[in-house]
Every structure is written in C-alpha cells, then in structure tokens.
Structure 1
C-alpha cells in the first residue's frame, strides 16, 4: 500500500469513528443511564458474564459497597458481556470484568479484572 492510500484509509476510519461518536447523544441502551448521568450522581457500569469467575468474585464486593455509606448515591448498571454488544462497542470494552466509573456524566476511570475489595473501593471513591 502506498503512502497516499494509507493516509486516505486512516482518514476514512478516523472520520467514521468521529461521526459515530458525534451521532450519539445518550445511552438509551442502558435504561436509566442518561437520567443518572444528567443528575450528577456517580455512576458505575459493570460489565460481567455469568461464566466469568473474576466477575463472580467482583459482584458481592460491588454489591456490598454500592448503595450504602459513602456510595449511597452511586447508581450501578450491569452490562452482560455476551448479549449487550452495542454497549461494549460504544464504551470500547474488550473484556468482561470491566468496571467504568462516571462523574458528572463523564467517564473518569476504568478497571479490568480487579478482585481486591480495598482496590475496588478506592476505585469507586474516584467517582465521589
């Protein structure tokens, strides 16, 4: 491939990605996400799969934290890795056991494969 064709291909891909991001003004594929993000509450999107051992280890840790104490206002949304592919693409998620936190409607951090309760708690605190 010559340099000109390469640059044209890269430009085309870049424009296509920019158009898909610009066309998206919300995330109605996760019911309640837009409302929670707009309200200013911290939001956690947790991508799991029923066959994932790491996900199964994360779930009780997250359940214990979210909704109580400092995390009482945090909203949690579960995304199934096997069936909700549109959401995975939108958020560039490549692995189950991914946690993404949002503050004021903007992604501030993500974490993959973590099962240490103290590390998960510190991660969630970033959204407060």
Structure 2
C-alpha cells in the first residue's frame, strides 16, 4: 500500500513538472505556486504579469507582449498571470504595489521589474534579462 502511495505522489509531482516544461513561447497561464516553483527548478525564464482586467495599462502591456513573446529570442519564456484583485496574497508575496507590474526571473533569481511601463523597447529589455 505504501509503495502505491509513493508511486502516486511521484506521478503527480512528475506530471506537474512536465506541465511547467511543456509550456511554450509566450504561454500565458494562471499563476499557481506549484507551477511557478516547478518552472524555477527547471531553470526556465519566467515572466510574472500582475494584472487587472479593468486596467488600461495592463491591456497595453498585453498587446506589446503579444508582439514580443513569439520571437525566437523569447521562445522559452513562460508567462504566469497573477490577478491583482483576487490573488492579493501572491501580489504581496512578489512585493507588488499595483497592477501592471511585470517581473522577470531566470530560474529562481529575479532579474528585472517594470511597473506601469508600456514602451516596447523597455519591455523587450525586461524580457531579454531572462536570457
């Protein structure tokens, strides 16, 4: 019985890890602590996008990201979306003061942060910091 439980736990962990690895260029997925940690452990370049549906700056950032993320140089970046209004604990954990916050990670290391910036060149430099 114990072997079966260990097998199921290992299978669940492997499945979660595989999901983080399977994410492709510019994939936007809702933030979960487990998926984020799996992506960090895998050494993936990460963008955390703290946004609100009502935020015009967030919408402008999303348009810029839609143009930048498909490029080959940003092909490995996984994007985690954090809802500013419903995930307050996550927002606080990242030290964000407001929506429209973009944070990049290279594995476990935070490598860049922009707040309320919509200029494509600045956002590109932020994405480049994950490389």
Q: Same fold (TM over 0.5)?
A: yes
Note the residue ranges of structure 1 that are not aligned, 5 or more in a row. 1-27
Any idea what the Cα deviations from partners look like across 1:43-91, whole Å, max 9, x if unmatched?
A: 0000010111100100011122224310101110000100001101111
In the alignment, the residues of structure 2 paired with residue 67 and residue 106 of structure 1 have an alpha-carbon distance, to the nearest angstrom, of: 23
Would you say 1:53 and 2:75 are equivalent positions?
no
* Counterpart selection for 1:126 from 120, 125, 129: 129
- Would the aligned equivalents of 1:30 and 1:77 in 2 still touch at CA under 8 Å? no
In the alignment, the residues of structure 2 paired with residue 106 and residue 57 of structure 1 have an alpha-carbon distance, to the nearest angstrom, of: 26
In the alignment, the residues of structure 1 paired with residue 77 and residue 117 of structure 2 have an alpha-carbon distance, to the nearest angstrom, of: 19
**Matched residue count:** 101
Post-superposition shift, 1:41? 1.4
Post-superposition shift, 1:119? 1.1
Match of 2:73 in 1: 70
Note the residue ranges of structure 2 that are not aligned, 5 or more in a row. 1-30
> In terms of Rg, which structure is larger?
1
List, as ranges, runs of 4+ consecutive aligned residues in structure 1 with deviation greater than 4 Å. Answer: none
- Would the aligned equivalents of 1:108 and 1:127 in 2 still touch at CA under 8 Å? yes
